[in-house]
Amino acid sequence: MTDNLIEIKNLAFSYGTRPILNNVNMAMSRGKVIAVMGGSGSGKTTLLRLIGGEIKPSAGYVKVADQIVHQLSRGDLFKLRRKMGMLFQFGALFTDISVFDNVAFQIREHTNLPESMIRDLVLMKLQAVGLRGAYNLMPAELSGGMARRVALARSIALDPMFIMYDEPFTGLDPISLSVICNLIRRLTDALGMISIVVTHDVQVSLKIVDYVYFLADGVIAAQGTPQEVKNSVAPFVHQFVHGEEDGPVPFHYSAQSYQKDLELENSVA
Strand partners, 24: 11
Give pTM, 2 decimals.
Answer: 0.82
Would you say 70 and 81 are in contact if contact means Cβ atoms under 8 Å apart? no
- Please write the tens of the pLDDT for every residue from 47-97: 999 999 999 999 999 999 989 999 999 999 998 988 888 887 766 888 899
Residue whose C-alpha is closest to residue 32's, from 156, 239, 211: 211
Would you say 31 and 232 are in contact if contact means Cβ atoms under 8 Å apart? no
Strand partners, 28: 6
Of 57-71, 169-183, 254-268, give the range with the top mean pLDDT: 57-71
Residue whose C-alpha is closest to residue 200's, from 210, 214, 187: 214
Burial class (CB in 10 A: 0-12, 13-18, 19+), 26: buried
When pLDDT is averaged across residues 127-150 and rounded to a whole number, the result is: 88
Q: Are strands 194-198 and 33-38 parallel, antiparallel or unpaired?
A: parallel
- Please write the tens of the pLDDT for every residue from 220-234: 888 888 888 777 777
Cα(45)–Cα(164) distance, rounded to whole angstroms?
10
Q: What is the DSSP letter of 70?
A: G
Q: Which CATH number fits domain 4-94+161-175+186-232: 3.30.70.120, 3.40.50.620, 3.40.50.300, 3.30.465.10?
A: 3.40.50.300
- Please write the tens of the pLDDT for every residue from 196-218: 998 877 777 788 889 999 888 88
Domain locations in the chain? 4-94+161-175+186-232
Question: What pLDDT shows up at residue 37?
Answer: 85
C-alpha dist (Å) from residue 43 to 12, 21, 98, 220: 10, 6, 34, 10
